[in-house]
Amino acid sequence: MYEIFSECVMYRYNSRFCSKGTIFVFFTTILTLLFPLMFTYKSHGFWMKTATYQEKPDVHFKYEYLFILQTESLDSLIICSTFPYLNNLYKDKNSCPIIKVREEDYNRDGYNDILHFELEALLENNENVYGITLILLFDYRLYGHCYLEMESLGVIQQMTSVPGSRFDYAADLQLLQKFPLHTKFHNTFYKKSIFHSKNFNIRDILKDYAARNVSTHLVNSYSVWSYGRAAIDPFIVSAQISYPSVTVMYKPGFWQEIKWAWMQYFPVLFPFILLFREIKRFIFSNHIIHTKKDVQWQKIS
């Protein structure tokens, strides 16, 4: 035997507006929408509080620095900087005649990739170096999903009990955030100069800098402290600072929140739609709730 024709039968269940059937359908519809909402919300994935993205920062060395070289005593302290106030205050202790700075863009994408900084400090024949502090200032900018413009620091410190002749240092300049950035306005609060006053107390400056919401610090650092300086040789500091891509944390906007919430809600909603549809089919087909049943034929072939 061959099937030469087929048709489907669809049952329609009708009821008055103020009836048990209408009330039952109303509550099942509410539960169908409410249960997935409660499930996704309680699973701590419904709303995006923060989001992240990758970006290559636009970093420029500001050609501003503060270098402190610690010798045997505080009286023989050597301070070199680009700040006129410090240079006038410690003019007798400023003995850094040679400074070499070079920034390179290896991949030719318009963004600097690395900074080469080298400094030579002249010493007396009987002076020995036991520690250094080097603070480099950068102009740090982000142009992607979040706009950020700020002045930031790279702090290098080294102390030892053995006098040295050279210090080599390599690290990455990494973005540090305590709270997510906002995408609705430009984040330029930290654009002001860090050394904005005559208060050059290193402890106060670093404490204020550490309290910032957005800053930079040096990570993935490697250093070599060389010994055995000749009497006439200068003390050399060589630093190589890389500018890698960073992960930026930000607060999502309204439409991104809605898109993410819908993606979490719909996969849970679909099974509940099927479940309550079968419940309604069982209730009405077995006449547990009284309704008017109509038959409608549908031709499919």
Print pLDDT tens along the chain (301 aa): 677 777 777 778 888 888 888 888 889 889 998 888 888 888 777 777 888 899 999 999 999 999 988 887 656 678 888 887 776 766 666 678 889 999 999 988 889 999 999 999 888 877 888 889 999 999 999 998 899 999 999 999 998 888 888 999 999 999 999 999 988 888 888 988 888 665 677 888 889 999 999 999 999 999 999 887 777 788 999 999 999 999 999 988 888 888 888 888 888 888 889 998 888 888 888 888 877 777 765 555 4
Residues with Cβ within 8 Å of 161's Cβ and at least 6 positions away in sequence, in order, are 130
What confidence score (pLDDT) does residue 73 get?
65
**Same structural domain, 29 and 80:** no
What confidence score (pLDDT) does residue 37 get?
85
Tell me the residue range of the domain where 19 lies. 13-47+253-287
**Same structural domain, 178 and 267:** no
**Same structural domain, 183 and 259:** no
What confidence score (pLDDT) does residue 149 get?
94
What confidence score (pLDDT) does residue 124 get?
80
What confidence score (pLDDT) does residue 300 get?
52
Tell me if residue 4 falls in helix, strand or coil: coil
**Same structural domain, 258 and 245:** no
Nearest one of 50, 55, 205, 224 to 137, comparing CA atoms: 205
What confidence score (pLDDT) does residue 1 get?
66
**Same structural domain, 174 and 266:** no
In what side-by-side order are the strands of the sheet with 181-182?
Answer: 51-55, 246-251, 181-182
**Same structural domain, 59 and 153:** yes
**Same structural domain, 263 and 145:** no
Spatial distance between the Cα atoms of 204 and 190, rounded to a whole number of angstroms: 17
**Same structural domain, 233 and 158:** yes
Q: Is residue 163 part of a domain?
A: yes
**Same structural domain, 182 and 152:** yes
Q: Is residue 8 part of a domain?
A: no
Q: Is residue 292 part of a domain?
A: no
**Same structural domain, 82 and 210:** yes
Tell me if residue 282 falls in helix, strand or coil: helix
Tell me if residue 155 falls in helix, strand or coil: strand
Domain tally, the chain: 2
Q: Is residue 297 part of a domain?
A: no
Residue 278 Cα distances to 74, 214, 267, 282, angstroms: 85, 54, 18, 6
**Same structural domain, 73 and 174:** yes
Spatial distance between the Cα atoms of 66 and 78, rounded to a whole number of angstroms: 11
**Same structural domain, 258 and 177:** no
Q: Is residue 144 part of a domain?
A: yes
What confidence score (pLDDT) does residue 91 get?
66
